[in-house]
Structure 1
């Protein structure tokens, strides 16, 4: 699965944010939800959350995507 890229741009609030979600394996073989976010054009932050299976990680990705879309982010 390819990474999901989301962005939220609101010129009135000077807001230009991005969010990237992906599922990948770490060095120990666990499945991780990889989240990267920040201001477009700047260095972002990165967070990894480990899960026991790929299905659990995909479910977490879907939940996070829905939450971000409710906040105004749109997929690219």
Structure 2
């Protein structure tokens, strides 16, 4: 499906964060949006939400990405 990875790096603030949003199917056939965030190089934290359709999951993922970009996150190279 789709996977988006964003980074926010600011050496002055000792900040090196990542935010990953992935739309995928789980073992039961449902569409889920998995969010993972934390310090670059670490495992981070994870949150999973299920949606009734792929279109709704993609819209939710797009909304999350847009919100993070508003806070200074940029696509990873």
Same fold (TM > 0.5) = yes
Name the SS for the 2:61 alignment partner. helix
- Does 2:71 align with 1:75? no
Distance in 2 separating the partners of 1:43 and 1:66: 23
Give the TM-score normalised by structure 2.
0.93
> Which aligned segments of 4 or more residues in structure 1 are displaced greater than 6 angstroms?
none
RMSD: 0.9
Query: Which ranges in structure 1 are unaligned for 5 or more consecutive residues?
Result: none
Structure 1 range deviating more: 61-70 or 38-47: 38-47
Give the TM-score normalised by structure 1.
0.94
CA displacement, residues 4-43 of structure 1 (integer Å, 9 cap, x when unaligned)? 1100001111110001111001121110011111100112
What is the correspondence of 1:7-22 to structure 2 with a 5 Å cutoff?
7-22=7-22
Distance in 1 separating the partners of 2:20 and 2:43: 13
